[in-house]
């Protein structure tokens, strides 16, 4: 009986859950970490508008997530567990006295990443990339040069070495995040098809549908380049979804900076945005107006997306919008930063036990 009671005590010390407050406490060798999960959400209940130009072009990632949640009852819990691990890892790397919650988007110290750089011990992360080009005409069969131009943009944007970084206003200059993520082209697949548009139900990801099967999703990023149709720029799968559909889909005219590209989305930022979703970033406004957050403390709250090239400052929810963030819906030429908090969220996926740890093993 004593041994049984002792084991119960040890178990309680190692893990304590407080369901009524959605808080979890975990012991580490140096400190006890508490993370607040009360704000976590997966579904986007409001009518989502997309990243659009005058002709109605848009990002579809959140609608795809809603569909996947409907089709897979276990996905919500899986994403909850991924988010909990992300917050625990970030909290474990913060200085003593800094909270382990997600923050409220106002830039406070209790955020899921906050604004102060911390050493997460992961070093520079390299992600192999497989690009699958599915085309019905010569334009859609984009050149190697166009593919390479996109890889170059990803490397610049995820290492804060993009040449438009100096456009960031002083208000946000102190929270610019260098994610230290490199992308290496591992292979290109080309497949001719009579199909002129593919939609958003992942049919391009299966050879049985005339598409291309995913390649080693546990260790590489897959990008399908094909005409999605419906004015959609692209969409991504969040961590936690099926391995068979893991990756990013982008229409060819919004991929890269040269060749078959279409303004104002001709600077490769659609891929930067969608890969952000693949690495667990939400839209900067949280897809829920001022009431909902993107789980990042140093990105200000906003009541919705911004379009085009908005004037600075644009004020919503009593704060200045970070319209130049890659996870907003502005034109390619007017987005040029991730924040430190976003960097922390992305990199936490590669930590021990993280959803994308196997990419760097």
Least confident of 17-21, 112-116, 307-311: 17-21
Give the per-residue pLDDT at 107. 38
Distance CA 201, CA 320 (A): 36
**Which of residues 332 and 291 earns the better pLDDT score?**
332
Coil vs helix vs strand at 130: strand
User: Rounded to an integer, what distance in angstroms lies between the CA atom of residue 328 and that of residue 62?
Assistant: 13
Q: What is the pLDDT of residue 57?
A: 57
Task: Name the phi and psi angles at 286, rounded to 5.
Answer: 75, 5
Indicate whether 326 pLDDT > 70.
Answer: yes
Q: Tell me the per-residue pLDDT of 294-304, one tens digit each, with 9 for 90 and over.
A: 999 999 998 88
Q: What is the pLDDT of residue 128?
A: 98
Any idea which residue has 């976590």 for tokens? 40
- Catalytic machinery residues: 274
CA 63-65-69 angle, to 5 degrees, is 120
* Residues in the chain, overall count: 361
pLDDT at 18 over 70: no
Give the number of C-alpha atoms closer than 13 A to the C-alpha of residue 60, restricted to the C-beta side: 21
Helix (H) or strand (E) holding 183, with range, is: strand 181-192
pLDDT tops 50 at residue 14:
no
- Check residue 32 and give its pLDDT: 59
Span 251-273, average pLDDT = 97
- For residue 302, the cross-strand partners are none
Average pLDDT over residues 249-267: 97
Which comes out higher in pLDDT, residue 179 or 47?
A: 179
Tell me the pLDDT band of 289, cut-offs 50, 70 and 90: confident
End-to-end CA distance of the chain: 43
Distance (Å, rounded) from C-alpha 105 to C-alpha 17? 25
Residue 96 has pLDDT above 90, yes or no: no
- pLDDT of 260 above 80: yes
Nearest to 161 by CA among 341, 332, 323, 336: 336
210-224-60 Cα angle (round to 5): 105
pLDDT digits 0-9 by tens, 211-244: 999 999 999 999 999 999 988 999 999 999 999 9
State pLDDT tens for residues 144-194: 999 999 999 999 999 999 999 999 999 999 999 999 999 999 999 999 999
Helices (H) and strands (E) in the chain, counts: 7, 11
Residue 177 has phi, psi (to 5 degrees) of: -110, 125
What does pLDDT average to over the chain? 86
Tokens for 308, please give them: 């085009």
pLDDT of residue 290: 82
Decide which of 1 and 350 is more confident: 350
Q: What's the sign of the alpha-carbon dihedral 213, 214, 216, 221?
A: positive
Q: Mean pLDDT over residues 275-290, rounded?
A: 91
∠ Cα 112 235 344 (to 5°): 20
Asked if 228 contacts 236 with a C-beta cutoff of 8 angstroms, the reply is no
Closest CA to 209 of 195, 229, 190: 195
Lowest mean pLDDT among 27-41, 92-106, 120-134, 325-339: 92-106
Confidence (pLDDT) at 287: 84
CB 182 within 8 A of CB 126: yes
Q: Is 147 helix (H, G, I), strand (E, B) or coil?
A: helix
Instruction: Collect all residues with Cβ–Cβ distance below 8 Å to 129 and sequence separation of at least 6.
Output: 151, 154, 183, 184, 185, 186, 220, 221, 222, 223
* C-beta of residue 99 within 8 angstroms of C-beta of residue 109: yes
To the nearest 10 degrees (0 to 180), the angle between helices 61-71 and 75-92 is 120
Candidate from 110-119, 142-151, 311-320, 343-352 with smallest mean pLDDT: 110-119
Interatomic CA distance for residues 63 and 65, integer angstroms: 5
Cis peptide before 97 (omega within 30 of 0): no
């Amino acid at each position: 009986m004593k041994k049984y009671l002792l084991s119960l005590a040890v178990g309680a010390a190692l893990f304590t859950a407080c369901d009524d407050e959605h808080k979890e406490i975990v012991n580490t060798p140096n400190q006890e970490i508490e993370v607040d999960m009360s704000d976590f959400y997966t579904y986007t209940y409001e009518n989502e508008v997309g990243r659009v130009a005058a002709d109605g072009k848009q990002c579809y990632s959140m609608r795809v997530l809603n569909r996947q949640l409907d089709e897979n009852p276990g996905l919500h819990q899986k994403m909850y567990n991924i988010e909990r691990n992300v917050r625990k890892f970030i909290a474990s790397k913060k200085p003593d006295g800094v909270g382990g919650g997600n923050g409220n988007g106002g830039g406070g110290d209790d955020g899921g990443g906050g604004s102060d750089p911390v050493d997460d011990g992961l070093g520079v992360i390299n992600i192999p990339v497989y690009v699958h080009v599915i085309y019905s005409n010569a334009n859609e069969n984009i050149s190697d040069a166009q593919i390479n131009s996109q890889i170059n943009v990803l490397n610049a944007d995820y290492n804060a070495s993009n040449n438009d970084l100096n456009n960031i206003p002083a208000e946000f200059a102190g929270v610019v995040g260098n994610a230290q993520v490199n992308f290496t082209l591992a292979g290109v697949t080309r497949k001719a098809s009579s199909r002129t548009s593919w939609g958003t139900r992942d049919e391009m990801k299966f050879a049985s549908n005339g598409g291309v099967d995913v390649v080693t999703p546990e260790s590489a990023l897959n990008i399908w380049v094909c005409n999605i149709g419906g004015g959609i720029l692209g969409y991504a799968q969040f961590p936690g979804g099926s391995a068979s559909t893991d990756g990013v889909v982008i229409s060819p005219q919004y991929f890269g900076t040269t060749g078959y590209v279409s303004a104002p989305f001709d600077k490769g930022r659609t891929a930067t945005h969608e890969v952000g979703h693949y690495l667990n970033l939400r839209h900067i406004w949280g897809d829920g107006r001022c009431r909902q957050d993107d789980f990042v403390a140093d990105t200000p709250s906003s009541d919705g997306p911004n379009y085009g090239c908005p004037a600075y400052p644009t004020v919503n929810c009593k704060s200045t919008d970070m319209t130049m963030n890659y996870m907003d819906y502005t034109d390619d030429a007017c987005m040029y930063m991730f924040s430190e908090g976003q960097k922390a969220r992305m990199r936490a996926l590669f930590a021990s036990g993280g959803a994308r740890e196997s990419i760097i093993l």
